[in-house]
Chain A
Amino acid sequence: MHKPFPKLWLWQLLLAALMFGLWWALTAGNILPPFFFGEPLKVVERVFAWFSSGAIWEHIGITLLETALAFAIGTLLGLGFGLWLALSPTASALADPYIKAANAMPRVVLAPIFAVWFGLGIWSKVALGVTLVFFIVFFNVFQGIREVSPVLIANARMLGASRRQLLSHIYLPSATAWVFSSLHTSVGMAFVGAVVGEYLGSSRGVGYLILQAEGAFDINTVFAGILVLTGFALLLDALVSFAEKRLLKWQPQHTERAGN
């Protein structure tokens, strides 16, 4: 990667400060009504209070737990079903219209149903996240398995691989690579599922904080909640990048060896 200009992060930070400044100027000068647009200083104050009192951690913990569970369960299910359907043409032909229908359906409308099924605790949020994660992983694995180079398979078969060995040495690693390529999206979706689930009905979690503040017309707290969510979304994304680097060390980096 070439650098557009030196000290990029400094400029990026400056840009953020500039935006906050603009926000502050507009709302303090009453050009935008603070009742609807919040006041940046109070928002920051609120975030600071949350962390200094430690009250926020319980909510963040719940949201992250829901995210992690939704991600793990959705990924495992997607991997399993993806492998199964990709390797069994009859099953995939049979399931095809249903999968398409289920994927086309806006899954957020399932949230009330999950609330009825699983209650207002974490599991209804996990379920919503799972429905979002599952399809991303499923389609990636399915496509990935279908696109495994036939030469790799022929070569392994000539070397004496049984069907099971083909699965464990070729299909599974290949599918895992595709799961990783969609990791950013699927972790993001697990997070979305958790927060949206909380927002639609819960008693804990960052989504709940936002819901409550909104009910009280406390726009500053809503913004503070959004700020915290964004921060943790970025953190999760960085974590994924880190895991990706460790686990996919067999893959060429984008910058090296494009020609071979």
Chain B
Amino acid sequence: MSLPKQPKEAAASGAALDFRAVTVRFPPRQKGDKAFTAVREATLTVGAGEFVSVVGPTGCGKSTLLNVAAGLHRPAGGEIKIFGHVLQGLNRQAGYMFQADALLPWKTAFENVILGLQFRGMAEQEAADLGNYWLMKVGLGHAGDRYPHQLSGGMRKRVALAQTLIVDPKILLMDEPFSALDIQTRQLMENELLALWQADRKSVLFITHDLEEAISLSDRVVVLSAGPETRPIGDFQIGLPRPRDVAEVRLTPAFLELHERIWHAMREEVLKGYAQTLS
């Protein structure tokens, strides 16, 4: 390719994701009600190649933030920059693993995995090879011809992971991807994700309600306040050495100390969020 290298590099400078005073509103359910402000003036960055986790009480607006980053939901205020460019329309650089089941029920696991390649018009044989490779990689080499309803919840999540990663996005948006898995599978998948990430350093925005998972995976952990009008209230650098093993790192004193500090910051918000779900 004869593209001049310089401008491209320049365009790629800056954080992978840069939320600037982002406010998100949902329209009122009935006329006369006020609009619901889910997120208020949230500022948050994910550096290029950085792994950032977001934790926060249930219903505070984590998925909403991801939808904004994906370009699926337009913020009412503020802006979001992707590698230095203001995001308009869909975020073409991002892969999004949704919290809810998003596999097509009428396609087999294999067909679901290669969906993104099909959309891009990749040659059939090439797509098939890559699809089989990724199915193996998530441990489903034997289950390619099963339909989603014939897979367990955890297997479906793994198909979704392969589906997202196969198109090799620069930015990875993950919404509680492993919360449906049992603890052993979960740690396997977490280690696998870390290995993949270590290999080509995607920028990751990872959402979880599990603080231990957040700390063991991330470079930084961001804590959100309870909703509505949620915003980041804490930003913690995780200096734990890499490569990490997610099971072993949890036993180190440094981990426990971080956990203590972040939990302290979170506790009040979690209780607030819980009280809201009760009322």
CB-contacts of B201-230 with A (<8 A): none
Within 8 Å of chain A (Cβ to Cβ): is B233?
no
Q: B102 touching A161 by the CB < 8 A rule?
A: no
CB distance from A244 to the nearest CB of B (A): 14
Binds B, one of A28-36, A124-132, A165-173: A165-173
Chain A residue nearest to B146 (CB atoms) is: A250
Binds B, one of A48-56, A57-65, A151-159, A204-212: A151-159
Q: B149 touching A257 by the CB < 8 A rule?
A: yes
- Number of interface residues, chain A, beta carbon within 8 A: 25
Give Cα distance in the complex from A154 to B115, angstroms: 13
Give Cα distance in the complex from A173 to B104, angstroms: 10
Q: A151 touching B106 by the CB < 8 A rule?
A: no
Q: B149 touching A159 by the CB < 8 A rule?
A: no
Give Cα distance in the complex from A256 to B116, angstroms: 30
Chain B residue nearest to A249 (CB atoms) is: B147
Within 8 Å of chain B (Cβ to Cβ): is A177?
yes
Chain B residue nearest to A253 (CB atoms) is: B149
Give Cα distance in the complex from A170 to B107, angstroms: 10
The number of inter-chain residue pairs (CB within 8 angstroms) is 69
CB distance from B48 to the nearest CB of A (A): 20
Instruction: Name the residue in B91, B105, B164 with the highest tally of chain A Cβ atoms < 10 Å from its Cβ.
Output: B105
Instruction: Please indicate the chain A residues that have their CB under 8 angstroms from the CB of B105 in the complex.
Output: 250-251
Instruction: Please indicate the chain A residues that have their CB under 8 angstroms from the CB of B106 in the complex.
Output: 173-174, 177, 250
Q: B149 touching A252 by the CB < 8 A rule?
A: yes
Instruction: Please indicate the chain A residues that have their CB under 8 angstroms from the CB of B94 in the complex.
Output: 158
Give Cα distance in the complex from A16 to B213, angstroms: 66
Within 8 Å of chain A (Cβ to Cβ): is B98?
yes
CB contact under 8 A between A152 and B102, given known A159-B116, A169-B115: yes
Chain A residue nearest to B70 (CB atoms) is: A158
- Number of interface residues, chain B, beta carbon within 8 A: 31
Q: B115 touching A156 by the CB < 8 A rule?
A: yes
Within 8 Å of chain A (Cβ to Cβ): is B75?
no
Give Cα distance in the complex from A165 to B116, angstroms: 11
Give Cα distance in the complex from A149 to B103, angstroms: 11
Q: A154 touching B102 by the CB < 8 A rule?
A: yes
Annotate B101-129 by CB proximity to A: 1 below 8 A, 0 otherwise: 11011111000000110111000000000
Instruction: Please indicate the chain B residues that have their CB under 8 angstroms from the CB of A152 in the complex.
Output: 102, 104
A-B contact pairs, 23 of them (CB 8 A): A149-B100, A151-B101, A154-B72, A154-B96, A155-B96, A155-B98, A155-B102, A158-B70, A158-B72, A158-B94, A158-B95, A159-B95, A159-B115, A159-B116, A159-B163, A159-B164, A160-B92, A165-B118, A249-B147, A250-B105, A250-B107, A251-B105, A252-B149
Which of B119, B153, B163 contacts A165, CB < 8 Å? B119
Q: B149 touching A251 by the CB < 8 A rule?
A: yes
Q: A160 touching B96 by the CB < 8 A rule?
A: no
Instruction: Please indicate the chain A residues that have their CB under 8 angstroms from the CB of B101 in the complex.
Output: 151
CB-contacts of B10-46 with A (<8 A): none
Give Cα distance in the complex from A27 to B92, angstroms: 78
Chain B residue nearest to A166 (CB atoms) is: B119
Q: A169 touching B90 by the CB < 8 A rule?
A: no
CB distance from A144 to the nearest CB of B (A): 12
Give Cα distance in the complex from A165 to B67, angstroms: 22
Give Cα distance in the complex from A157 to B102, angstroms: 11
Within 8 Å of chain A (Cβ to Cβ): is B270?
no
Instruction: Name the residue in B100, B108, B148, B163 with the highest tally of chain A Cβ atoms < 10 Å from its Cβ.
Output: B100
CB contact under 8 A between A160 and B167, given known A152-B102, A173-B106: yes
Q: Given A158-B94, A158-B95, A170-B104, output 4 extra A-B contacts at Cβ < 8 Å.
A: A149-B100, A155-B102, A159-B164, A260-B152
Instruction: Please indicate the chain B residues that have their CB under 8 angstroms from the CB of A159 in the complex.
Output: 95, 115-116, 119, 163-164, 167
CB distance from A168 to the nearest CB of B (A): 10
